[in-house]
Structure 1
């Protein structure tokens, strides 16, 4: 009888200990979610910037910095893309409603191949990649994915900040600067600047952070990944054009919507 009581108490202790251990992962959701990933770019002052997209990976429910826990989304539409064509709302679909476990999406990793090049003054140069990024660029996300919901993330490649000239044209480095933008929690601002022949930078400031883009060949622009609120828009044409800068005040941004400011003629 005494032995049976000791044995029963041990079983209870083991059960309680097991329950406590499982509580450490209580923040991990059960079930699955679907994720779509797109790649776009903010226009830059280059002729062509080609990147070799190989794969897209995610890390779920794991906030450490190790190489463990990465999962491929089996990227579609891999290949070499001119980033300067992925502007004004144009993007490339890298993952389409791929099913993954629900929980916290900690990081997204864009894996690039070796065929990355840039064209300057009509001449093509290779883009070297720092060894620390050859396995792919890690992009912090830390978004909660609930079961049975679909999520879309836009990888916004900032080509102007990603190209580093190390002193000569034979050593141009690609150090990708990319934001991961959940489309469902952001809005956009678009418009058209004339004359379209003048390269124009569009800027807004959000909590001391500058978000900017350039007009495309038709004068169109699109600012993405903007929080809800009211903002002032700075329009800065190329100084050599002798056109005046312009500020448009009190532009409202709504989640999941685009605010089109129409055609703006610079004087």
Structure 2
């Protein structure tokens, strides 16, 4: 089945702490943004009910952000699109943890039918992400949350689905992207990028216009495989170099 990348920058958050002074904090002011991106599966919609965003700083204090609570369809944020859901300003120079608190209104749409997504653990304690990010004053500090919807939505029975989030965090300023497109447009295909150093695999999918984007890649050299639905054969490109803060466009892949 195909994977659809939700490049969902769900949270572009700027956060605020009134932190107590200690060895790990400073008196500066730090703009902070949290963004989310992703890869979904064979779904028409993946709706996630974001109720709150919290952060924890170097002093251990938890701060609730100014959150625009609501239900967000991850598939609305494909190939680099994003939306701002919370803002504030930090006085702590380090973010150790981000927590996404979900409400009960999480659903998936398959073949026109809407099914609830059960998320018991997320509703009770939230989705905790350890990041340990040092902030720099007078710039927009950002973090990218990669929410892999294809791996996160699990069918547990006939018409029964569970949300078991698979997340990773990437500091946007020290990562890069791979972009490209395929022809003919309309071909269903998935895209993977494998690091030649760590053999870690990052995935995405081709959108309706034939474009794809794999975000949040550590700098390095990658092998990219574009895999269409059969009977077409995959196309492999090797030695694709990714640099921090830049996008590498591999052009049009013809089938």
- TM-score, normalised to structure 1, is 0.81
Whole-angstrom CA distance in 2 between matches of 1:119 and 1:130? 20
Measure how far apart 1:85 and its partner are: 2.0
Which one of 179, 202, 205 corresponds to residue 190 of structure 1?
A: 179
Measure how far apart 1:132 and its partner are: 5.4
- Greater CA radius of gyration, 1 or 2? 1
**Structure 1 runs (4+) greater than 4 angstroms displaced:** none
Which one of 40, 44, 62 corresponds to residue 41 of structure 2?
A: 44
Which one of 85, 88, 95 corresponds to residue 76 of structure 2?
A: 85
Measure how far apart 1:105 and its partner are: 1.1
Aligned residues: 233
Indicate the RMSD between aligned Cα atoms, in angstroms: 2.0
Measure how far apart 1:196 and its partner are: 2.6
Which one of 225, 230, 242 corresponds to residue 216 of structure 2?
A: 225
| 1:199 equivalenced with 2:169 (yes/no) | no
Partner-residue secondary structure (3-state), 1:87? coil
Structure 2 counterparts to residues 1-267 of structure 1, below 5 A: 25-62=22-59, 69-76=61-68, 78-96=69-87, 98-131=88-121, 133-169=123-159, 171-206=160-195, 207-239=198-230, 242-266=231-255
Asked whether the equivalents of residues 106 and 142 of structure 1 are also in contact (C-alpha less than 8 Å), the reply is: yes
Cα deviation code 1:103-125 (max 9, x no counterpart):
32111111221111111122111
Structure having the higher helix fraction is 1
Structure 2: gaps spanning 5 or more residues = 1-21
More relative contact order in 1 or in 2 (CA 8 Å, sep 6+)?
2
Measure how far apart 1:179 and its partner are: 1.9
Whole-angstrom CA distance in 2 between matches of 1:132 and 1:224? 25
| Pair 1:161–1:219, CA change in 2 (3 A) | same
Partner of 2:5: none
